[in-house]
Amino acid sequence: MHGNDEALAADALSGDTPEQRQAALERQIGNLEIAIRSQRSIGTAIGLLAHRFGCPTDEAWQLLVRVSQDTNTKVREIARMVTDAHDGQGRAEDAATLVRLSAELPGKPATSWPICQDRRVGPSGLGSRQNGGAACTSTVPS
């Protein structure tokens, strides 16, 4: 267990009543479920970024952390933006963060993330294309 997990477990075991202990354990289970989903999403985003930009996975991770800190956005939220864009489910409001990801890699081309007119960001790629009937245009000129 890590420090925070140990504190949660100690909190759960130190409850005054069985109901308090149960509530603390349920909170811990909920937090662990979120962590597992986040870890998977972050790992997927790291792989997508590494592939897209031709960089090592540790550089892709550092990119996620840097953009997270600079934009005051949780890494798991940025990871969601990346995976959603890849899957054709991205949102127009995510475009600025995706453009920032592209621009943050030194020496790498600032390729574009297409924005779809139906308010989604399309799968990673360049230029205009069709995405489920919605016309897509680049967020950054290519």
Query: Residue 114: phi, psi to the nearest 5?
Result: -65, 145
Between 19 and 137, the higher pLDDT residue: 19
Report CA dihedral (38, 44, 49, 50) to the nearest 10 degrees.
Answer: 120
Q: What pLDDT score was predicted for residue 112? A: 56
Structure tokens at 85: 């864009």
Query: Residue 79: phi, psi to the nearest 5?
Result: -60, -40
Q: What pLDDT score was predicted for residue 37? A: 86
Structure tokens at 27: 């909170």
Where does 1-142 have alpha helices with state H? 3-13, 18-53, 57-71, 75-86, 95-104
Q: What pLDDT score was predicted for residue 64? A: 93
Range of the domain at 20: 3-138
What's CA 76's distance to the chain center, in Å? Answer: 4
Number of domains in the chain: 1
Q: What pLDDT score was predicted for residue 102? A: 79
Burial group, residue 14, by CB count within 10 angstroms (0-12, 13-18, 19+) = exposed
Mean pLDDT of 105-129: 47
